[in-house]
Amino acid sequence: MTDCKMEFQCFVAFVIFAALASSLCYAYDPSPLQDICVAIKDPSSAVMVNGKFCKDSKLATADDFFFTGLNIPRNPSNSVGSQVTPVFADQLPGLNTLGVALARIDFAPYGLNPPHTHPRATEILTVLEGSLYVGFVTSDPDYRLVSKVLNKGDVFVFPIGLIHFQQNVGHTSAVAISGFGSQSPGLIVIGNTVFGSKPPISDDALAKAFQVDKKVVDEIQAKFAMPK
């Protein structure tokens, strides 16, 4: 009986370990088990992989792996002075299951890509034009700002999950290209998340969190509630 009990305990421990290992693996994009999986919206065609239905690989064409127009400037005339053009699986269906993505960021003079995180991807940024002040903040307990001014041709990496930002420090427009280690990096803009949630977080809670008067919180929430 003792041996049976030990064997059962070992089996349970193995199952728990396997479950934990599986959950850790799925913290990142899973490795593809096929050459290609072009994302389509028609569920009658095939199996779903990574949240997308896959086209029959025999019907895939070069256009499924092609995106054009990333050379075209986007208008950054908004409240923060930046505009992101994503090239994710939704824009480039052939990216599905491949674990990478791309984006162009256009900056107005002194424009900002506000503090944000990508919960599922590390980001690597290359400056094409202009000068950018960039940085990320390490996690608890240090909260250390790691920052640098980048010029044309410079590259900077933002570790997965950490709050980071980019700001144009020049009086002319700036452009950067970012690569991501996921087909769907995710985006959490700190200001929008904290002050623009629907329904809003209690101003009392935010006043305590930020150590300010509730009137200050109300004013900020009102700005984030306005149409952008």
Is residue 100 domain-shared with residue 152, that is, in the same domain?
yes
Is residue 215 domain-shared with residue 177, that is, in the same domain?
no
Helix, strand, or coil here: 127? strand
**CA distances from residue 91 to 17, 57, 115, 184 in whole angstroms, order as listed:** 38, 18, 24, 11
Is residue 166 domain-shared with residue 86, that is, in the same domain?
yes
The rounded percent of the chain whose pLDDT value lies above 90 is 69
Task: Indicate whether 38 belongs to any domain.
Answer: no
Q: What is the DSSP string of 143-199?
A: --EEEEEE-TT-EEEE-TT--EEEEE-SSS-EEEEEEESSSS---EEHHHHHHS-SS
Q: Domain tally for the chain?
A: 2
Across the chain, mean pLDDT equals 86
User: Which region among 9-13, 37-41, 67-71, 195-199 has the lowest average model confidence (pLDDT)?
Assistant: 9-13
Task: Indicate whether 162 belongs to any domain.
Answer: yes
Is residue 100 domain-shared with residue 178, that is, in the same domain?
yes
Is residue 206 domain-shared with residue 128, that is, in the same domain?
no
For 39-83, how does the pLDDT look when each residue is reduced to its tens digit (9 = 90+)?
A: 877 666 556 666 677 888 888 999 999 999 999 999 999 999 999
Is residue 153 domain-shared with residue 172, that is, in the same domain?
yes
Q: Work out the average pLDDT over 200-218.
A: 96
Task: Indicate whether 221 belongs to any domain.
Answer: yes
Is residue 206 domain-shared with residue 181, that is, in the same domain?
no
The rounded percent of the chain whose pLDDT value lies above 70 is 80
**pLDDT score, position 16:** 43
Question: CA torsion angle for 90, 190, 120, 142 (degrees, to 10)?
Answer: 160
Is residue 105 domain-shared with residue 158, that is, in the same domain?
yes
For 114-153, how does the pLDDT look when each residue is reduced to its tens digit (9 = 90+)?
A: 999 999 999 999 999 999 999 999 999 999 999 999 999 9
Is residue 155 domain-shared with residue 208, that is, in the same domain?
no
Cβ neighbours, 10 Å, residue 221: 17
| pLDDT tops 70 at residue 30 | no
Task: Indicate whether 88 belongs to any domain.
Answer: yes
Task: Indicate whether 54 belongs to any domain.
Answer: no
Task: Indicate whether 103 belongs to any domain.
Answer: yes
Is residue 92 domain-shared with residue 160, that is, in the same domain?
yes
Helix, strand, or coil here: 140? coil
**pLDDT score, position 53:** 77
Is residue 179 domain-shared with residue 81, that is, in the same domain?
yes
206 is in which domain, residue-wise? Answer: 196-225
User: Which region among 1-5, 22-26, 145-149, 192-196 has the lowest average model confidence (pLDDT)?
Assistant: 22-26
The confidence band for 97, taking pLDDT boundaries of 50, 70 and 90, is confident
Give the residue with greater pLDDT, 27 vs 200.
200
- The pTM of this model reads 0.79
